[in-house]
Structure formats: structure tokens, C-alpha cells
Structure 1
């Protein structure tokens, strides 16, 4: 039996012209958009608080880098597996309400993690289990946000819509440090447990409110599909699904499993997550232990990374729109910049250099982070979008993110891995991943060019 909050509402289209329905579109769109934006932002409050708490968990409980990496690995595995399982399951359900439901359950997991925290092996196991469960519950958030936005926005605004939403996890990441440290300092006397309990309570409150705002499609308000409202043609993929009455599994096989562009994006995402998570996971530890900065300065650098991402995510999305949807080509430009900026960050000899390099890396990393997902929209029907994004995320987290947390941590501790060891080897691995991602996105750019020219010919014919 399906929960009522997960059932889609589809009302008969109002007897109004498209122009009149466009006037009614904005208010429910804004409410729905705010739910997916704020809910996804809150997911990062109960995800990145772990990164912020790492130095205190080392000093207060004597945890090793390997233990911290193991806890992070638990999240990555369940988040990665959930990306495919949960997003396939969510097909045909109310995509908007998947977010507050996942946030609510994740919030309870992080609340429990803060309550059981301690130095014993049993407490370590409980923290790992709870953080892993939180990862599974969060795994449907991103994909169902994109599905909701795609259902609500016309094609010529979709890049900007997804790009602005992408700010949500940058904002959540940037706020994570302040929220976690504020909660610990003002409510828990500086105890690291407060870095988990306080953000969890905030997440639970946001989730409850989110259930009662907006919906997953304008069809829920009798406005018709977004294509009807904005008088734009239905995509070739969506037409094929409708005409052939394809089932969920048939859509999955045709547009995901046997879609070569999706697989290129999957592997590009793996390498990107080695870059993104490698910086994200270890920047505070590297700054404190190797560069010699204080914990506060190290944490502020983490915030600068997220602020740089926040600034870049909309600009890169807008730039790709200006280049007529050439997401792959724009991603390559950013990835080349990442390779050069990593060297500056690795040898930062001042607080300014440290913060500036992390700001630049955040700005650059979130170009492909955004555009890999937006590129996928052009090659799958709406009904297959969550599953396609889910498979892409599964590869990213099970391989890329997991390697960044365990593999890079293993290398950083001085253990040799394919000739790489220490922090120098760690940075070499991150640079190699950025180059590999660039090569794959260049191939995607070729497929995009073919599709762009095909659409241009169709427009001329029409």
C-alpha cells in the first residue's frame, strides 16, 4: 500500500488558453521549487556536518583517518546503491514529496548518531550504521529534485532552473559549518555531539513543513503539462514513450541501460567525484595537519569551497545555456582549470592562498557537477530521468566517492597505491581523475553537437 503523500495528483486541464494558464503557473511553481531547494539544502546540513566534526572526533575520541573514512564509506555505499534502487522505485510517484520524506528519515538518523557518539568500538559501529542509513534516505533527493524542476520548467529555462537549484547544496554546504558549530557551542557547551543533534532538529522541522507546500507537476493544479502551458514541442524521447506505451522497465532498459551517452556520463561522474569528494572530504584535515592552519581557519576554507561552488553553479549553467546547451564543452573548460588550480592549493603558503584556491576549486568543480546532470536531461525521457540520474549517482558514490574517502585517505597516510603515497600522491590521483573526466566529457560534447544540429534542422523545417 502506497503512502498518500507519495501519490501523484493529476487534475483535468482547466478550460483556459495557454496564456491564461501561464499566469497561474508561477505561484505553485515557486512553492514547489522552494520545497526541493530548501529540502535539498537541509540534506547537506545533516551530511556535511560530519566533515566539519572530523577534527574534533579525532581529538575528542581518538578516531583515526581510516575510521573516519569508514564512516564516510558507509554513507557512500548506501547513498550510491540507493541512487539506483530508490530512484527506480520512485518513478511514477510524487517526486516533490520524496524530498521531505527522505529528509525526515535522514534527520532522525543523524539525531541518533549524535546521541550514541563515543570512543568505543560499539559506538563506532552504531555511528557507521546510522550514517549509512542516512545516506540511503538522502539518495533520492537530487534526482527527484531534477524531475520536479523538469516537470515545472520549459526547455529554454531548464538549465537555469536546475542550475539555481544546484545552489541549494552549495548553500547547505556553506551553512553546514556555521550551523554545526553554532549548535555545538551554544547548546552543547562545545561538545561535538551538538554538531549532529542541532542540524538534525532543523532538518526534521523543514521536512515536516515541506510536505504541505507545492506539488510535483502543474498537472496537479489542472494547468496541464509544462509543454502545454508554454506551447513547446514534446521531446522525441517523451513522444516515443507515450506512443509505444513503454513500461517503467522498458524505459529503463532503452534509455538508461543501453544509452551510450548515459554510460559516458556515469564514468565521467566517477572521476569527477574523486575530485570533488577528495577536496571536500580532506581539505580541513590537510589544512590543519600539513599546511599548519588552525581548525577554525581549516573549517573556513571548507566554507570558501562551498561559496565558490555557489557562485559558479548558476554562472556555469547560464554559460552553457548561452552556448546553446553545450554542457560537455563548457565542462571541459572548467576541468582544465581544476588541474592547474590544484597545484596552487597544494602549496598554499598563506591563509589567503588557501582560501582563494578553495574558492576557485569550488567555482570550477561545480561546473561539471551541474552540467553532467543537465546533459543527461537531453538524452532521456522525463519518465526515465530519475533512474538515469540514479544510475549515474550510483557509479559516482560507489566508486568515485568511496575511493576519495578510503583510497585517498589510505594514500595520504603514506601507504603506497600504484606508486602513489602521501599527500603528494593524493594530489596526483585527484589531478589524474580531473583529466580523465575531461576526456569523457569531450566525447559527450560530440554527441551533444550532433543533437543540437538535429534540433536546429527540425526547427528550420517547422
Structure 2
């Protein structure tokens, strides 16, 4: 098989004429919407296995190798910078790629890298491998955004996008327990190797089970199938254009997306700061063992699971698809929850776990809604690029939660850590305020800078 033929597999499938009657169309939509959702859910949950394995074994690895906290922070910062760039580049690639292979091959690659990480020992090797992992991790979410935009229409997407988004809460909740237990029983290296094996297996499954857009399967668009006027309006406004013109006009020139991206940066400082350093905080401040600390982080993800669904459903139900008001409400909830964990001076496990639950509940709402709002504000064929663009800013914020936040904590202790998170939360809310007056039907061409 030639390289040209092999690469053709990665390209998006061409549109096929609609040759089915209404009953067959309904049956096909019901079947594939379920199977695609299950595939995306399982796939992205396991992407989190191969992404957060390192975070889950980090305290054990630092203790075993005798390294300082800043060494782990440097690896994390490199990961988030490269991952943010990869989210955008991969978003552009995924808009013109077949998501079944794009997402599946990316997950297989991250699994292989996790296994190699488990057999490495030098800081240079760790940094190089985790930077490469960051690149392939960027192949995970853009296909999800593309398929969710293609198979679910505007007036239902908030709920279903929220359901899909909870996949990383499931992955993020399970991997600290799995990797932490493996690290304590067999050593931290097994906490990397086992998630890698799981990633390879699920990646192969994605290559078999996922499909491309409805149009590639001889089906009408989801807007036409559901008779969703908002969806049909976006489809009418999304004329076929060259990729660069789409990016310049509907992403780079879209004021709405720039404000969302800036807010996303500060949301991610808090989200990743709590995720990456929460177990270290509990070890140092409350004397928890690694597995007990990771079990508290588990409740962050449980809260995120519930909060994500509430945020998506609420933005559909109470604000008719306008994502901004719910974003601001949840951002204020983040601030109150962070202040609660900061000022909690008792070592009662249930109170601490409850604090993490509420942080997760409120923080994953904006994390999901901002990305969805960006996809809905862009060209119909650039959902991956739009979510990737705001993702760049999100993971610049994540990079700030690595080495810079570690240095803040080294200099001013955990009070400095929580003060930094409180300030960034307030900045995130302030940046969303100008968008409150925007109509839910974003006029794409008029939202240019």
C-alpha cells in the first residue's frame, strides 16, 4: 500500500447523496448517534488515562528520584504549552480529517509514549517523552467537537456536549486511583505502563467503531433532520470557503472568540492548578498519604461530572442556548469554593473531599461551556479550529499552573497558591461581562475585531 493511499484514510470522507427514505434516515441517525457518543466517551476518558497518569504518580516519582517540586513543574509546563499549540493545530487538521482514525491513532501514540515513560529514568527523557505526548494528546478533543457539532443540533447540543464532556471527569477520577494504587503496590513506573496499554487497546477500538459526518454516510445534515432553526441558520451562514479564509474571518477576526479565549486562560490556571497540585497540598498541609490524597482528587472529578451536566442543561433550559450567563454564575461558584478550601483549617476528610467536590462542580462548567460557545460562534466547518484556538489560551493558563505556580508556592507557601487562584478566577469572570449583551445568535461576520 502506497503512502498516498494510506494518508487518504486520514482525510475526511466526501459527501454522499441522500438515498434513504425517512424511516431509514431516522434509524441510521438513532443508531450512529448512540454509537458515536459511546465511542467518543470511552475514547476521551482513556485519553485522560494517558494524560494524567504522570500527575497521579508525580509525588511518588519525585520522592523516588529525590527531585524538587520545580522539576515536576517544569515537565508539566512544557506539556501544557505544547498541548495548547497542538489543540489548535490538531483542530485545523481534524476539520479536514476522518475523526475515526485521527482520534484513534492519537490515542495509540499516547499509549506507546506512556509505556516508554515507565521505562525511562532521566529528566531529559521524561521531558522529551511528555512533550511528545502533549502533541498527540491534542488529537483527542477536536474530533469530539467536530462530531458533536455534526451529529447533534443547536437546541440539544448543550446537554449532549455536557454528557460527552464528562468523559474526562470519569477518566480524571479513575486514573488517580488506578495509578496511585499501582504506584504504591508495584512502584510508580507501573502507574505509567498500565494506562499506556489501556490506551493502545481503546485506540484500536476507536479506529473500528467511529464514523465521519452524517453527510459522508448519505444522510441529511442534523439541522435538516431535527428541523432546528438555529442550526439551519448556522449551516446557511457557513459557506464553503478555503481553510485560511475561514480561520481569518470566523476565528481570528471574531471578537466573541477572543474574549472567550482570554477567559479560558484564567479558568485553566485554576482547574489545572487544583488538579496538578491538589494531592501535593494535601500531603504537605494535611499529612495525607498519596492514595488518600488522590482519593480526595477523585471527588473533584465527581463534582465536575455533575456540574458539567447541570451547566449544559441549564444553558439550554434557562438561557435558550446562550452560554455566557451560566458561565458567569459558575465562575462565581469557583471563587467561593476555592476560598472554602483555602480557609478550611480542619483535617476532616469529608469536609476536604466536599471542598474538592464543589470546586469540580463549578470549574468544569466554564471549562465545557466556553469551548462549546466558541464552536457555536464559528463557521460550521471550523468547530475543531475554534475550540482548538481557545484551547491554546486554556493551556497557556495550564502552563502558568506548572513551573510559575510552583515557584509562587515555594516563595509564599500555600497561601500564595490560593491567592493566585482567587485572583485568576475573578479575572475570568470580568472578561465574560462584555459578552452578556450578546445575542445568542452570534452574527459571525459582524463579530470581527
Deviation sequence 1:393-415 (CA, Å, 0-9, x none): 11111x2011111111111011x
Equivalent residue runs for 1:306-345 within 5 Å:
306-323=301-318, 324-345=320-341
Which of residues 219, 227, 233 is equivalent to 1:231? Answer: 227
Q: Following superposition, which runs of at least 4 residues in structure 1 exceed 6 angstroms of deviation? A: none
C-alpha distance in 1 between matches for 2:206 and 2:241: 32
Secondary structure at the counterpart of residue 432 of structure 1: helix
C-alpha distance in 2 between matches for 1:289 and 1:298: 10
2:135 is aligned to 136
Deviation sequence 1:189-231 (CA, Å, 0-9, x none): 5211000000000000000111011302122322222123223
C-alpha distance in 1 between matches for 2:90 and 2:16: 29
Q: What displacement does 1:95 show? A: 2.6
Which of residues 288, 292, 299 is equivalent to 2:287? Answer: 292
C-alpha distance in 2 between matches for 1:431 and 1:343: 7
Which of residues 371, 386, 389 is equivalent to 1:388? Answer: 386
Contact 1:115 / 1:193 at 8 angstroms: preserved in 2?
A: yes
Deviation sequence 1:80-136 (CA, Å, 0-9, x none): 1112222222222113432111111111111110111x3xxxx11101110110111
C-alpha distance in 1 between matches for 2:367 and 2:428: 11
Contact 2:180 / 2:291 at 8 angstroms: preserved in 1?
A: no
Secondary structure at the counterpart of residue 8 of structure 1: coil
Q: What displacement does 1:146 show? A: 1.1
C-alpha distance in 2 between matches for 1:76 and 1:11: 36
Question: TM-score, normalising length from structure 2?
Answer: 0.93
1:170 is aligned to 169
C-alpha distance in 2 between matches for 1:386 and 1:317: 19
Contact 1:326 / 1:445 at 8 angstroms: preserved in 2?
A: no
Contact 1:18 / 1:231 at 8 angstroms: preserved in 2?
A: no
Are residue 425 (structure 1) and residue 420 (structure 2) matched? no
Secondary structure at the counterpart of residue 208 of structure 2: coil
Q: What displacement does 1:4 show? A: 3.8
2:262 is aligned to 267
2:359 is aligned to 361
C-alpha distance in 2 between matches for 1:100 and 1:275: 30
2:446 is aligned to none
C-alpha distance in 2 between matches for 1:320 and 1:18: 31
Which of residues 421, 430, 434 is equivalent to 2:425? Answer: 434
1:257 is aligned to 252
C-alpha distance in 1 between matches for 2:92 and 2:393: 15
1:456 is aligned to none
C-alpha distance in 1 between matches for 2:291 and 2:139: 33
Q: What displacement does 1:18 show? A: 4.0
Pick closer, same or farther for the CA change 1:21–1:304 going to 2, 3 Å: same
Secondary structure at the counterpart of residue 210 of structure 2: coil
Contact 1:18 / 1:229 at 8 angstroms: preserved in 2?
A: no
2:19 is aligned to 15
Pick closer, same or farther for the CA change 1:232–1:314 going to 2, 3 Å: same
Q: What displacement does 1:265 show? A: 0.7
RMSD: 1.8
Equivalent residue runs for 1:42-61 within 5 Å:
42-61=46-65
Pick closer, same or farther for the CA change 1:449–1:207 going to 2, 3 Å: closer
Contact 2:35 / 2:209 at 8 angstroms: preserved in 1?
A: yes
User: Structure 2: where are the runs of 5+ without partners?
Assistant: 444-449
Pick closer, same or farther for the CA change 1:182–1:361 going to 2, 3 Å: same
Contact 1:32 / 1:96 at 8 angstroms: preserved in 2?
A: no
Greater displacement, 219-228 / 46-55? 219-228
Secondary structure at the counterpart of residue 308 of structure 1: helix
Q: What displacement does 1:7 show? A: 2.6
Greater displacement, 335-344 / 196-205? 335-344
Question: TM-score, normalising length from structure 1?
Answer: 0.90
Pick closer, same or farther for the CA change 1:70–1:94 going to 2, 3 Å: same
C-alpha distance in 2 between matches for 1:385 and 1:11: 18
Contact 2:177 / 2:291 at 8 angstroms: preserved in 1?
A: no
Which of residues 349, 352, 355 is equivalent to 1:351? Answer: 349
Pick closer, same or farther for the CA change 1:183–1:423 going to 2, 3 Å: closer
Q: What displacement does 1:346 show? A: 1.5
C-alpha distance in 2 between matches for 1:18 and 1:159: 26
Secondary structure at the counterpart of residue 402 of structure 2: helix
Greater displacement, 74-83 / 196-205? 74-83
Secondary structure at the counterpart of residue 47 of structure 1: helix
User: Structure 1: where are the runs of 5+ without partners?
Assistant: 415-420, 453-462
Deviation sequence 1:364-406 (CA, Å, 0-9, x none): 1011011101211321122111111111111111x20111111
Contact 2:224 / 2:232 at 8 angstroms: preserved in 1?
A: no
Pick closer, same or farther for the CA change 1:144–1:214 going to 2, 3 Å: closer
C-alpha distance in 1 between matches for 2:296 and 2:74: 24
Secondary structure at the counterpart of residue 211 of structure 2: coil
